[in-house]
Structure 1
């Protein structure tokens, strides 16, 4: 098989951000077999993301089981998510910053191994503190996985960064959807020890990521020196504009993930409390929401490549506001329909935000991916704890009435600069 040849962009270009050499593989420069190779890597990364996020989604999916087993309140449940998410939040930017300078091809397999350890610990956890420790291990594994896998997806993008990030993200969203479904079928009916079945997913992920790491090591041998050199180049916009834009993007991530965690952590309790559905039925409805998120994700990348990321961010975050505002005021059927619509519309926001941010700060893919994934994890963790406390003090219904207004924060998108220019046919 012929090797991929990174393209070199002239330093004097003012029209676009200068990507690192490890990020700048042009599809036009690759022979057909080379294009098949990088597509295979994208698919492998997406599938590994599916396995990783299915394991992550297992944790909130078994909250009703853990609540009954250990006699937990909503605040304690929120602290489980807080521990898992904040572990990922703290470590992901650090991992990304380090691997920008010192890429580690087999770090993804290491992260999945740590996740495997967390799963085994969770299956045999005898107490609430042990559950917290298991959640921290799963969070640490995810923190190692996301920054470097985002860099690999960009390297294998063939220049179609939006498509590559969406394909990578759709794997994660599909895994988040499958987690509750598998928990409903395997763990909820049979008990905590059956969490061990998910260790098969972690083992499969380790095998796949070892092979991806071998491919990545070969690419590093070709382009690492140029990647480090271009990583020192200054962004094409004034520093103040870049910082302000990153702040707006992080605020949009806050609005998205606060709302998303209200669904992933408390949607089942909302359905059971308001509509008296069973645990298993609530898991199936959660699967429908998360399945819609997975289905909608893949649309955002190609649309962003074609029309621009800013347009996708507008449509994704602000566009879900009418549905979120209606959700607390409808019946069970309406709730199910609106949740699916929210998932479809909201889905493409993160991949568009991440690609936009990497174009603001060229040559810092690991740092930006770690920062945004870490911030997303952190906001989800803080959101789970805050919303759990709010639910204990008021009600789950009130939580959804408050969260309904979060998408309106998306109006800040109007202050983002147009860094892409007009897309041409």
Structure 2
């Protein structure tokens, strides 16, 4: 009995002693690794809208059918991700990290050879599942590796994803225009590299769990004041709606603005992609600066300003010259996505310790349901024309006024510390 119990007591003691260090140390190699995988994952997701013009021409698709492809990708991710996130908060599964990238690898391989519309839909579902498996556990790893620098870790993690999304237009220009649909085959190498990095990250993740790492405030089993619980729920609904609207407008630009540029200005496809890249790259920079700006001006204020501040540029976009369209896309992309990481941090403060659940709600459900917006936009373009649709989309960021109903930072911090 002693021979068996002594090691157990020793392990428990070591875990207790290690816990403060595990909680406080910032592990940059893991943060960078998981950020690079986020870049890999989202750059592969960016392949889907990047290949839309090629698929539309090759398969003679309508805008509505293009919208269904975006819908399949986003809804697959959004429906599965909250479930995975909720389960991960209760039973962490490091193995999901390499398995998720494995699903993405299969999806990209199938996309390269898909010769009909059904196979294209199946391939994007596989890619969507891979993303759903990655994000909750990836966010938990970023939180775990952050130590006391939670805001910095979130910025590093999210910038990887937004940088990956910004590569989509360049992928169209450099790969899909010259090589066509088979160009997707090259991304199997990126997915394979992602699997390899995820194996390394998952091993570290498992070691940390075995060493006794636990997420703070996980044991929130004590009674919560009903009024506060109601306020938190209301804030969650508003936050999800805000992310949904932001995603909807982003889907309009990322999926369809290429066609608008070609239609209004007569640009070639490869030239049109430069404008989408500028918008998304500016958004990635905005994500990086969002954390420090929120520290200075407040989280709720930044969420409000990032949405409402986009309105003038979004409304003017359909009426300006080709040059000014590029300028407005740069400014609008920076402003709109400056709140990307801030909304995640805000949600984490609403639900301390439930990192996977928060990921499922904010970067999964709300962001993924932007695919519904993409589907509706595709149908609207078929019905009333692309110019009228982009004029209407310019009003979407006005819904950012809902941020006025969010609790202020002092209230949020009081809830998080209680």
Scaled by the length of structure 2, the TM-score of the pair is: 0.90
From 303, 311, 314, the counterpart of 1:313: 303
Q: How much has 1:421 moved relative to structure 2?
A: 6.1
Deviation at 1:323, TM superposition (A): 0.9
Distance 1:218 1:305, change over 3 A: farther
The answer on 1:380 being equivalent to 2:370 is: yes
Residue in 1 that maps onto 2:406: 416
How many equivalent residue pairs? 398
Residue deviations 1:337-390 (CA, integer Å, cap 9, x gap):
101111111112221111111111112111111122222343221011000000
Q: Which of the residues 375, 387, 407 maps onto 1:397?
A: 387
Residue of structure 2 in register with 1:16 after alignment: none
Aligned partner of 2:192 in structure 1 is 203
CA contact (8 A) 1:265 1:384 kept: yes
1:264-305 superposed Cα distances (whole Å, 9 cap, x missing partner): 110100100111100111112111111111111100123334
The aligned runs of 1:60-75 (5 Å cut-off) are 60-75=49-64
* Corresponding residue for residue 251 of structure 1: 241
Mapping of 1:7-86 within 5 angstroms? 7=20, 25-26=23-24, 30=25, 35=26, 38-86=27-75
Structure with more helix by fraction:
2
1:149 alignment counterpart: 138
Superimposed CA distance per residue, residues 23-63 of structure 1 (whole angstroms, 9 cap, x where no aligned partner):
xx23xxx4xxxx4xx11111111111111000000111111
Q: Which moved more, 1:137-146 or 1:350-359?
A: 350-359
Aligned position for 1:18: none
1:311 CA drift (Å): 2.4
Cα gap change, 1:156/1:235 in structure 2, threshold over 3 Å: closer, same or farther?
farther
Question: Measured at CA, do residues 228 and 296 of structure 1 come closer, stay the same or move farther in structure 2, by a change above 3 Å?
Answer: closer
Is the contact made by 2:78 and 2:132 (CA closer than 8 Å) also made in structure 1? yes
Candidates 285, 289, 292, aligned match of 1:299: 289
State the partner residue of 1:134. Answer: 123
Any unmatched runs of 5+ in structure 1? 9-21
1:349 to 327, 331, 339: 339
For the Cα contact (< 8 Å) 1:113–1:141, is it kept in 2? yes
Q: Which runs of 4+ in 1 moved over 6 A?
A: none
What are the within-5 Å matches in structure 2 for residues 83-122 of structure 1? 83-122=72-111
Q: Specify which of 160, 163, 173 is matched with residue 171 of structure 1.
A: 160
Q: Cα distance 1:133–1:5, how it changes in 2: closer, same or farther (>3 A)?
A: same
Q: Given the superposition, is the C-alpha separation of residues 306 and 5 from structure 1 closer, same or farther in structure 2, using an over 3 Å criterion? A: farther
Rounded to whole Å, the distance in 2 between the matches of 1:206 and 1:177 is 21
CA contact (8 A) 1:178 1:287 kept: yes
Q: Matched residues in 2 for 1:223 and 1:176: separation?
A: 35
**Residue in structure 2 matched with residue 325 of structure 1 by the alignment:** 315
2:4 corresponds in structure 1 to none
**Counterpart in 2 of 1:12?**
none
Q: What secondary structure sits across from 1:223 in the alignment? A: coil
Cα 1:233–1:414 change in 2 (3 A) is same
Q: Provide the residue aligned with 1:213 in structure 2.
A: 202
SS in 2 for 1:417: coil
1:166–1:348 Cα contact (<8 Å) kept: no
TM-score w.r.t. the length of structure 1 is 0.89
Equivalent pair of 2:243/2:367 in contact (CA under 8 Å): no
Give the drift of 1:98. Answer: 0.8
Q: Say yes or no: does 1:242 pair with 2:229.
A: no
> How far apart are residue 122 of structure 1 and its match?
0.3
- Stretches of structure 2 that go unaligned for 5 or more consecutive residues are 1-13, 414-418
Q: Is the aligned partner of 1:367 residue 2:367? A: no
CA–CA separation in structure 2 for the residues paired with 1:305 and 1:55 = 32
Does the aligned pair in 1 maintain the 2:69–2:124 contact within 8 Å? yes
Using a 3 Å threshold, how does the CA distance of structure 1 residues 345 and 313 change in structure 2: closer, same or farther? same
